[in-house]
Chains A and B, each alone.
Chain A
């Protein structure tokens, strides 16, 4: 039994890049049995949307001092470090990662 985790996925314009990233996260998390919902936004919208989410993943720089765990990564576009990012995301969502709130 796992409750649903929400991942806010941000990119510059909330069109294509965040969709590619969100699709990858949903696929990889559901393969791990983690119930995840993704929401997409522009990076400028993150501060106003961050409250209801468990994690923020972005392809462009995020504002500092977000009250939630946040990852900036290009791994879902370039493939570089993809496995490590997936493990990190899974760890944060299941509460097993060091430093996650």
Chain B
């Protein structure tokens, strides 16, 4: 019952070369896209930002490269979906294992998932992507949604 990230990707929620200057700006931007696509409620963006402040989701991958997976409780989600941003310049997120440690994030997956099983499967799928550095680097410099989908689909 494994899932593909691309199946959950909200087309209007993919922002490539985003020039946001901090984590809250990226989170808010992606939340706006998810809300316009009727994936999340209006309460979602603020809920993600406040969770991120207490329990940050940055995942350091070495070589100064990092990914973040901001999310919040299902009560703010209407139907499951994922938004994604690649940053033109990395923005600082707290590291999941140490909130006081700020790490430069180049790719953000903002998760809006209804069920616990979806959350587990999505995290597993993202984990597999994180362990494939080549694919992740190509993703961070992708220039079209077709390219993003094709990179996300090239798992196996």
Cβ–Cβ contact B59 & A74, under 8 A: yes
* B-to-A contact residues, CB < 8 Å: 55, 59-62, 95-99, 116, 119-120, 122-124, 127, 130-131
Cβ–Cβ contact B60 & A78, under 8 A: yes
Cβ–Cβ contact B131 & A78, under 8 A: yes
Given A13-B55, A17-B123, A59-B96, A80 contacting B116 (CB threshold 8 A): no
Bits for A13-26, please: 1 = Cβ < 8 Å to B, else 0: 10111011000000
Report which of A15, A72, A78 forms a contact with B61, defined as CB distance below 8 A: A78
4 closest A-B pairs (Cβ-Cβ)?
A79-B131, A16-B119, A12-B55, A16-B123
- A residues 67-101 in Cβ contact with B at 8 Å: 72-74, 76-80
A80–B98 Cα distance when bound, in Å, is 16
Q: Which residues of A contact B62 (CB under 8 A)?
A: 80
Q: Is A47 an interface residue (CB 8 A)?
A: no
Q: Which residues of B contact A59 (CB under 8 A)?
A: 96-97
Q: Is A60 an interface residue (CB 8 A)?
A: yes
Closest to B58 in A: A74
Q: Which residues of A contact B122 (CB under 8 A)?
A: 16
Q: Which residues of B contact A61 (CB under 8 A)?
A: 97-99
Query: What is the minimal beta-carbon distance from A18 to any residue of chain B, in angstroms?
Result: 10
Q: Which residues of B contact A20 (CB under 8 A)?
A: 120, 123-124, 127
Report which of A12, A77, A80 forms a contact with B123, defined as CB distance below 8 A: A77
Q: Which residues of A contact B59 (CB under 8 A)?
A: 74, 77-78
